[in-house]
């Protein structure tokens, strides 16, 4: 009982609860971002790593994820190893607010509105001109999207491009 309550409390203290993204939406996110072979895709709060795996496997991208939940990070690392993608994909157990984004061509977010707001300054400071951000469900209020798509469930997919006149 106490372990279950502790686990629930810990998850509620995070900036985003884990909700797995369905395969169709994963593909829509990566397509909207315009991922090209050899680009670096970073998924902040990557959960079990499904976007990381898809970016490496289907787009031949270098995919990186960061996840604060050690169990999901371990699951994702195992999935990458079993899929034979260790040369192109990696998951780090850690804090997304401390994760280096300077080499990212694409950043994927499926977080809370609060987390997106906390990330705004980091994204502006670390991402280079031309980098793209796709945020599922919650917008980045300080940025203007260059495109808004829709996921299978009808929720918005916001595409941002660093260096666009409206970012």
Q: Do the Cβ atoms of 76 and 90 come closer than 8 Å?
A: no
Q: Which CATH number fits domain 16-161: 3.40.50.300, 3.50.50.60, 3.40.50.150, 3.90.870.10?
A: 3.40.50.150
Per-residue pLDDT of the chain (167 residues; tens, 9 = 90+): 655 544 444 444 456 666 789 999 999 999 999 999 999 999 999 999 999 999 999 999 999 999 999 999 999 999 999 999 999 999 999 999 999 999 999 999 999 999 999 999 999 999 999 999 999 999 998 999 999 999 999 999 999 999 975 55
For residue 144, give the nearest of 124, 159, 125, 122 by alpha carbon.
159
Backbone Cα Rg of the chain: 15
- Scanning the structure block, which residue is given the tokens 């984004």? 101
Give every strand in the sheet of 132-136, ordered side by side: 89-93, 62-67, 40-44, 106-109, 132-136, 156-161, 147-150
d(CA 54, CA 47): 13
**Both tokens assigned to 69:** 């939940």
């Amino acid at each position: 009982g106490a372990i279950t309550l502790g686990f629930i409390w810990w998850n509620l203290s995070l900036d985003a609860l884990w909700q797995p993204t369905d395969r169709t939406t994963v593909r829509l996110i990566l397509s909207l971002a315009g991922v090209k072979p050899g680009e670096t895709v970073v998924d902040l709060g990557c959960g079990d790593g499904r976007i990381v795996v898809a970016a490496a496997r289907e787009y031949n991208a270098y995919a990186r994820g960061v996840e604060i939940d050690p169990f999901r990070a371990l699951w994702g690392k195992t999935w990458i190893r079993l899929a034979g993608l260790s040369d192109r994909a990696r998951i780090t157990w850690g804090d997304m607010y401390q994760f280096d984004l300077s080499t990212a061509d694409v950043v994927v977010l499926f977080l809370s509105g609060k987390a997106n707001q906390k990330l705004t300054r980091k994204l502006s400071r670390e991402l280079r001109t031309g980098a793209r951000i796709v945020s599922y469900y919650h917008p980045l209020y300080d940025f203007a999207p260059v495109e808004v798509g829709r996921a299978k469930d009808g929720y918005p997919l916001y595409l941002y491009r660093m260096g666009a006149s409206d970012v």
